[in-house]
C-alpha cells in the first residue's frame, strides 16, 4: 500500500517556551492511484484515433481495351496555367477557370464544379479523362479527384498530358 508517514517531531515553539507536539498521520495513496489508472484506462479505450483518408482506385486490367463512345468521354486538361480545358469527344477544348481565387486556391471554381455536376447529370455513362501537365501542381489533381468523389462521379481515368494535348490547349487559347 502506498502510504505517507510523517514522523513525530517538535517543530515550533510558542511564546511561553511551550513546545507543541505535532501528531504523525498516515495517508493512504491507493485509492488515488486506482482512480488515476481507471481514468487512464477509460480514455485509452474510448478514444478514436485518426483514420487515414484514402480513396479506393480500381485499376483496369492491362490486357484488353475498353471501348467507350466518343460522346461519353469528357477530357479535362490541366496545363498548369490556372485554367482547365474541357471537351466532349472530339470537340475543341473550352477554357474554364480552375480556382475562383488564384491566390488562395482553397477550392475549385464554382464554374468548374457546376460544369462537372451538369455534365455528369446529363450523361450517366460519362467517363471523365483527366490529363494533367507536369507544369501543373499536384494539389490541382488532388482537388479534382476530391471534387469528383464529392459529386459521386466514380467513372474517371487519369492519362498522360501529351504534346497533342498541349497543341489543343494552344489552339484553344489562340482561338479566343
Instruction: For the chain of 176 residues, list the mean pLDDT of each consecutive stretch of 10.
Output: 56 60 80 95 87 71 76 89 87 86 75 90 89 89 88 86 88 78
Domain 71-175 classification at class level = alpha beta
φ, ψ for residue 21 (rounded to 5)? Answer: -100, 125
Query: How far apart (Å, rounded) are the C-alpha atoms in residues 156 and 119?
Result: 13
Closest CA to 96 of 113, 71, 120, 73: 113
Query: How far apart (Å, rounded) are the C-alpha atoms in residues 38 and 63?
Result: 58
| Sequence-distant contacts of 84-88: CB under 8 A, at least 24 apart | 84/112, 84/144, 85/168, 85/169, 85/172, 86/115, 87/168, 88/119
Query: How far apart (Å, rounded) are the C-alpha atoms in residues 12 and 21?
Result: 8
pLDDT of residue 36: 96
Query: How far apart (Å, rounded) are the C-alpha atoms in residues 14 and 103?
Result: 77
pTM of this prediction exceeds 0.85: no
pLDDT of residue 31: 92
Query: How far apart (Å, rounded) are the C-alpha atoms in residues 167 and 176?
Result: 14
Amino acid at each position: 500500500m502506498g502510504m505517507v508517514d510523517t514522523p513525530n517531531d517538535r517543530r515550533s515553539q510558542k511564546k511561553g517556551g511551550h513546545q507543541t507536539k505535532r501528531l504523525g498521520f498516515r495517508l493512504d495513496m491507493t485509492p488515488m492511484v486506482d482512480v488515476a489508472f481507471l481514468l487512464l484506462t477509460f480514455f485509452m479505450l474510448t478514444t478514436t484515433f485518426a483514420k487515414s483518408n484514402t480513396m479506393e482506385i480500381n485499376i483496369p486490367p492491362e490486357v484488353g481495351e475498353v471501348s467507350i463512345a466518343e460522346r461519353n468521354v469528357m477530357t479535362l486538361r490541366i496545363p498548369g496555367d490556372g485554367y482547365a480545358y474541357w471537351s466532349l469527344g472530339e470537340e475543341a477544348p473550352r477554357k474554364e477557370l480552375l480556382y475562383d481565387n488564384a491566390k488562395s486556391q482553397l477550392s475549385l471554381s464554382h464554374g468548374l464544379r457546376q460544369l462537372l455536376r451538369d455534365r455528369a447529370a446529363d450523361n450517366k455513362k460519362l467517363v471523365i479523362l483527366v490529363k494533367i501537365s507536369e507544369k501543373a501542381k499536384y494539389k490541382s489533381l488532388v482537388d479534382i479527384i476530391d471534387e469528383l468523389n464529392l459529386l459521386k462521379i466514380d467513372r474517371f481515368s487519369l492519362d498522360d498530358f501529351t504534346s497533342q494535348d498541349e497543341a489543343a490547349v494552344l489552339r484553344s487559347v489562340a482561338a479566343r
